[in-house]
Chains A and B, each alone.
Chain A
Amino acid sequence: MKALTANRLDDGEVVFWNKGAWVERFADAELFADDATGEAAEGQGKSQPNTVIDVYLIDLIESEGLWAPLSFRERIRALGPLNHPTHGKQAEGGAAIEALRHAAGASRSTGRVNLIKRK
């Protein structure tokens, strides 16, 4: 399973793709079961260079029955800095945030799909 992420140009906010729109919560992200739909979305996302920057697909794993980014780096992006639990997306709390907090998996680069491909 994959999701598409980026940072919003205007304010740098971490955003996720959902059917043509960019949303702020990972829980609202569109999930791609197959590579083709993910890559199609990535193409669309990259065609909006004045809305978002640094568009890429990330790998997901299951955590507490929900999906979470595989890499720790991407989970931190979906949560906020862990030294300040009230900063960033994690402040909202709830099951989706807890699932991200408890997920385990790769720490950094392996979450970024196109980096794996490049190897």
Chain B
Amino acid sequence: MYQYDTIDKEFLADRAAEFKQQVERRLAGEITEDQFKMLRLRNGLYLQLHAYMLRVAIPYGSLNATQLRKLADIGRRYDKGYGHFTTRTNLQFHWIKLREAPAILEELATVDLHAIQTSGNCIRNVTSDPYAGATAEEIDDPRVWSEAIRQWSMLHPEFSHLPRKFKFAVTAAPKDRTAARVHDIGLVVRRARDGTMGFEVIVGGGMGRTPYVGPTIKEFLPANRLFSYLDATLRVYNRHGRRDNAYKARIKILVAALGAEEFRRQVEEEWEKVGPGADMPDTEIARIRAAFSVKAFDTLVNRSEAFETAKAADPAFARFARNNLKPHKRPGYTIVEISLKGIGDTPGDATSDQMDAVADLGERYGQNDIRITHEQNLVLPHVKLDDAHAVFQGLAAAGLATPNINLISDIIACPGLDYCALANARAIPIAQDIAHRFADQDRAELVGELKIKISGCINACGHHHVGHIGILGVDKKGEEFYQLTLGGSGAEDAEVGKMLGPALPADRVTDAIDTIVEVYLRERADGERFLDTFRRTGVAPFKEAVYAEAH
């Protein structure tokens, strides 16, 4: 893993010291709330319904045990013993006191963590593949580029006052676990026929009020020209993106207004002028690359007797293995997904004790490498099959062994009206209710891969537009209602979901999901996922069934 050097560490320390002074000035009444608000937002500190919320960046979703323990410790000492992992692979603390925020940032800096650019109209934390460095599918390690982008974007002189926030995703595998096509910029590593490495550059995807799957602006950008191209793209956006209306200010609106062709032309024209002088030196990329490539894998055989024996003896482990273990590139290793979607729990929440437990397991069995997924789960990317049962037992003891990855109860939900000042409706109880309905694991497995994503308002922090089933909370004459969409996807086959019909009251949502699942089970052909069936049949049979029962 990349280790912060003195430069990175001093940068974070300076930033924490700066914020400390700003908070002092505010508490002493030397600056107004208007002036202070942007300063606290630049450090990820929001005012939510009940208290301040601190959003800590987890760069490209990668942590070591020390860092996760520190997050647990902060949760315990400054919050109520928990934290919330988000779809942007950040961690939010929901009960923060302004006067304590500087101390928290100082403590985070001691373990190379920060909250810089987790809010505001700047380049935000980069999303990357949680299986990076562990999956055989990838053609490069996307963390190398993610870390380079992190550095390039930190207090970027020119691009820290963009028209609106700006989110990157970087992946290098054909199976997209980053939602690259619904980010402001999605970078997909590609290899040309002659072996040179480059990126497919997707620009102008996004969710919110106007969801778009981003068009590919460049089929193949040579990897060593990445930063000049980003300069050109961001400059076109910074100069020409709309600033008159916050809802129309994202780059997706500019790309859509100009058309992908014209946007590409403008970027290419600017890129010519920028030239290679703006690229990051190869030596720096090589330095970062070296930091990620040191991994001590043992030479093992594919089959682990211990693993097979444990599966045969322990049906709960066999189920966990079926759903939560994913293939690793090395023989005898596996990727362990840890669900933060226990039945009836708040999606994405982890208690401090749970964070400690994962840190311990990651340290002991997982090469001290822990990842966060945009689906609000955790991952131990490098576990020996021989150790998988021990990891499972450790997780089970911490209440973290729910075997439901990618299943119907593995639901994304934003904090919604329980916490969020912008919400129209709650998201959490809807997720809990659906999870309870599908608590029967046999049935959930029978249904198979089905991604439900819930947002408490149109901002779409819960990715509802790209849920196989999306649920959007709306405020209808003062009551919580939920609008369902079907057929969305945030993966490589990205698509925005289609509206099912009129919004439903809260107490009808779970029944509607049940009905949709029944229609799918009735209609599905061999081997079809929900999404495949939906794409074949269209919305009609689902709509008919859900609204027929309404009367």
Direct contact of A and B (CB under 8 A): yes
A9, A82, A83, A107: the one contacting B479 at CB < 8 Å is A107
A103 contacts partner chain B, Cβ-Cβ < 8 Å: no
A102 contacts partner chain B, Cβ-Cβ < 8 Å: no
Binary interface profile of A, 78-96, with partner B (CB < 8 Å = 1, else 0)?
Answer: 0011111001100000000
Kindly identify, within residues 174 to 225 of chain B, every residue whose CB is under 8 Å from any CB belonging to chain A: none
B432 x A7 contact (CB < 8 A): no
A54 contacts partner chain B, Cβ-Cβ < 8 Å: yes
Kindly identify, within residues 74 to 103 of chain B, every residue whose CB is under 8 Å from any CB belonging to chain A: 80, 94-99
Considering the complex, give the chain B residue whose CB is closest to the CB of A51.
Answer: B29
* Given A82-B426, A83-B432: A108 in contact with B96 (beta carbons within 8 A): no
A108 x B99 contact (CB < 8 A): no
Contacts of A84 in B (CB 8 A): 80, 346
Contacts of B387 in A (CB 8 A): none
In the complex, A90→B426 CA distance in Å? 17
Contacts of A53 in B (CB 8 A): 33, 47
Binary interface profile of B, 417-435, with partner A (CB < 8 Å = 1, else 0)?
Answer: 1110001111011001000
B50 contacts partner chain A, Cβ-Cβ < 8 Å: yes
A109 x B98 contact (CB < 8 A): no
In the complex, A53→B432 CA distance in Å? 33
Max chain B Cβ within 10 angstroms of own Cβ: one of A14, A53, A107, A109: A107
A12 x B32 contact (CB < 8 A): no
Binary interface profile of A, 1-17, with partner B (CB < 8 Å = 1, else 0)?
Answer: 00000010111111000
* Given A76-B417, A81-B419, A109-B475: A10 in contact with B480 (beta carbons within 8 A): no
A43 contacts partner chain B, Cβ-Cβ < 8 Å: no
A9, A82, A88, A107: the one contacting B98 at CB < 8 Å is A9
B33 x A77 contact (CB < 8 A): no
B98 vs chain A, min Cβ distance (A) = 6
* Given A49-B32, A73-B423, A76-B417: A82 in contact with B429 (beta carbons within 8 A): yes
Considering the complex, give the chain B residue whose CB is closest to the CB of A52.
Answer: B33
B96 x A82 contact (CB < 8 A): no
Interface residues in B, total, Cβ within 8 A? 35
Main SS at interface, chain A: loop
Considering the complex, give the chain A residue whose CB is closest to the CB of B100.
Answer: A11
Binary interface profile of B, 454-481, with partner A (CB < 8 Å = 1, else 0)?
Answer: 0000000000000000000001011110
In the complex, A10→B32 CA distance in Å? 13
* Given A107-B424, A108-B417: A10 in contact with B50 (beta carbons within 8 A): no
B428 x A83 contact (CB < 8 A): yes
Binary interface profile of A, 38-80, with partner B (CB < 8 Å = 1, else 0)?
Answer: 0000000000011001100000000000000001110011001
* Given A72-B480, A105-B478: A77 in contact with B50 (beta carbons within 8 A): yes
In the complex, A106→B481 CA distance in Å? 12
In the complex, A19→B477 CA distance in Å? 33
B47, B80, B424: the one contacting A54 at CB < 8 Å is B47
B417 x A73 contact (CB < 8 A): yes
B44 vs chain A, min Cβ distance (A) = 14
B438 vs chain A, min Cβ distance (A) = 19
A37 vs chain B, min Cβ distance (A) = 25
A110 contacts partner chain B, Cβ-Cβ < 8 Å: yes
B27, B97, B423, B429: the one contacting A12 at CB < 8 Å is B97
In the complex, A110→B424 CA distance in Å? 11
* Given A12-B47, A81-B419, A83-B418: A107 in contact with B95 (beta carbons within 8 A): no
B424 x A108 contact (CB < 8 A): yes
Considering the complex, give the chain B residue whose CB is closest to the CB of A53.
Answer: B33
B49 contacts partner chain A, Cβ-Cβ < 8 Å: yes
A10, A80, A109: the one contacting B97 at CB < 8 Å is A10
A118 vs chain B, min Cβ distance (A) = 16
A11 x B99 contact (CB < 8 A): yes
B117 vs chain A, min Cβ distance (A) = 22
B27, B95, B426: the one contacting A10 at CB < 8 Å is B27
* Given A11-B98, A83-B429, A107-B479: A72 in contact with B417 (beta carbons within 8 A): yes
B52 contacts partner chain A, Cβ-Cβ < 8 Å: yes
Contacts of B300 in A (CB 8 A): none
Contacts of A107 in B (CB 8 A): 417, 424-425, 475, 478-480
B49 x A77 contact (CB < 8 A): yes
In the complex, A31→B432 CA distance in Å? 36
A13 x B417 contact (CB < 8 A): no
B359 vs chain A, min Cβ distance (A) = 23
A34 vs chain B, min Cβ distance (A) = 24
A12, A49, A54, A108: the one contacting B475 at CB < 8 Å is A108
B51 contacts partner chain A, Cβ-Cβ < 8 Å: yes
Considering the complex, give the chain B residue whose CB is closest to the CB of A14.
Answer: B50
* Given A12-B52, A50-B29, A105-B478: A83 in contact with B346 (beta carbons within 8 A): yes
Contacts of B480 in A (CB 8 A): 72, 107
In the complex, A88→B80 CA distance in Å? 10
Kindly identify, within residues 44 to 61 of chain B, every residue whose CB is under 8 Å from any CB belonging to chain A: 47-52
Binary interface profile of B, 485-503, with partner A (CB < 8 Å = 1, else 0)?
Answer: 0000000000000000000
Considering the complex, give the chain B residue whose CB is closest to the CB of A9.
Answer: B98
Considering the complex, give the chain A residue whose CB is closest to the CB of B79.
Answer: A87
Inter-chain pairs besides A9-B98, A81-B94, A83-B429, 20 sampled, C-beta below 8 Å: A12-B47, A12-B52, A13-B50, A13-B51, A14-B49, A14-B50, A49-B33, A50-B29, A53-B47, A72-B480, A73-B49, A77-B49, A81-B50, A83-B346, A83-B418, A83-B432, A87-B50, A87-B95, A106-B477, A107-B479
Which B positions have Cβ atoms within 8 angstroms of A? 26-27, 29, 32-33, 47-52, 80, 94-99, 346, 415, 417-419, 423-426, 428-429, 432, 475, 477-480
12 contacts between A and B (CB under 8 A): A10-B97, A53-B47, A72-B417, A81-B418, A81-B419, A87-B50, A105-B478, A106-B477, A106-B478, A107-B424, A107-B478, A109-B475
The 8 tightest CB contacts between A and B, nearest first, are A106-B478, A12-B51, A11-B97, A81-B418, A50-B29, A12-B52, A83-B428, A108-B475
